[in-house]
């Protein structure tokens, strides 16, 4: 990827980030086809709904993909481009890839589904930049938490009510926020941290 001063992103870098977002979207479909994700979070993990798949898998997966790209590019803008590409492709094509299946990416109004991922990517990119003087671990963990909570909050406040799934009950909110925090750190931040430590030798790119 092409970087300039560590924050701006060149055309080639933006294209590479968009392709990375597309690849992450394809990988997510392969890992969680059809109704696999709701079955995993509800039946296997026993998490309440709606929203368990969003906060425990979808959000952290997208966050991990964005931070891995950031490890390579050094630009917070790469995070935004990767996340927006992932969200756009996933929201538009999931109903076509899994026709008739009600799962993440096919529930709720299309503009809001895209906006939710774009919001999370924006929060992630802004947080990573704002915390650039902090340690990589603190920077990634706090940024991942903020992004996952932003994504979850928009789904709870707008997407699920408009989709007829109703509001998340207070008791369920506590459980799901805990799951969102654990998954954001354990998946969204930890994988890029390990990659940065062992593949990049611990070097910060920004």
Which residue blocks in the chain are alpha helix, DSSP H? 11-31, 36-38, 52-53, 59-73, 76-97, 110-130, 136-154, 160-162, 170-183, 190-198
List pLDDT tens digits, range 101-144: 888 888 889 999 999 999 999 999 999 999 999 999 999 999 99
Q: In angstroms, what CA-CA distances link 9 with 18, 63, 204? A: 12, 19, 16
113 — phi, psi (to 5°)?
-65, -40
- Beta-carbon contacts of 56 under 8 Å, excluding residues fewer than 6 positions away, are 41, 45, 47, 176, 179, 180, 183
Task: Give the confidence band of 4 by pLDDT, cuts at 50, 70, 90.
Answer: very low
List pLDDT tens digits, range 31-54: 998 888 877 887 777 788 788 889
- The residue among 9 and 185 whose pLDDT is bigger is 185
Per the CB < 8 A criterion, the answer to whether 149 and 127 are in contact is no
List pLDDT tens digits, range 78-99: 999 999 999 999 999 999 998 8
pLDDT at 6: 52
| pTM for this predicted structure | 0.91
Share of the chain above pLDDT 70, in %: 94
């Amino acid at each position: 990827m092409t970087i300039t001063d560590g924050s701006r992103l060149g055309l080639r870098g933006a294209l590479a980030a968009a392709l990375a977002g597309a690849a992450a979207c394809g990988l997510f479909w392969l890992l969680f086809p059809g109704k696999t994700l709701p079955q995993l979070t509800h039946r296997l993990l026993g998490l309440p709904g709606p929203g368990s798949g969003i906060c425990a898998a979808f959000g952290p997966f997208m966050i991990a993909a964005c931070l891995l790209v950031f490890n390579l590019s050094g630009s917070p803008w790469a995070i935004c481009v990767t996340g927006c590409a992932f969200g756009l492709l996933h929201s538009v094509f999931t109903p076509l890839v899994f026709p008739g299946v009600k799962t993440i990416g096919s529930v709720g109004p299309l503009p809001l589904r895209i906006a939710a991922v774009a919001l999370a990517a924006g929060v992630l990119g802004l947080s990573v930049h704002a915390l650039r003087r902090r340690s990589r671990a603190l920077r990634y963990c706090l940024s991942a938490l903020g992004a996952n909570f932003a994504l979850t909050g928009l789904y709870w406040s707008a997407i699920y009510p408009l989709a007829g799934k109703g509001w998340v009950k207070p008791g369920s909110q506590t459980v799901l926020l805990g799951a969102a925090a654990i998954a954001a750190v354990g998946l969204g931040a930890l994988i890029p941290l390990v990659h940065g430590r062992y593949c990049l030798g611990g070097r910060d790119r920004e």
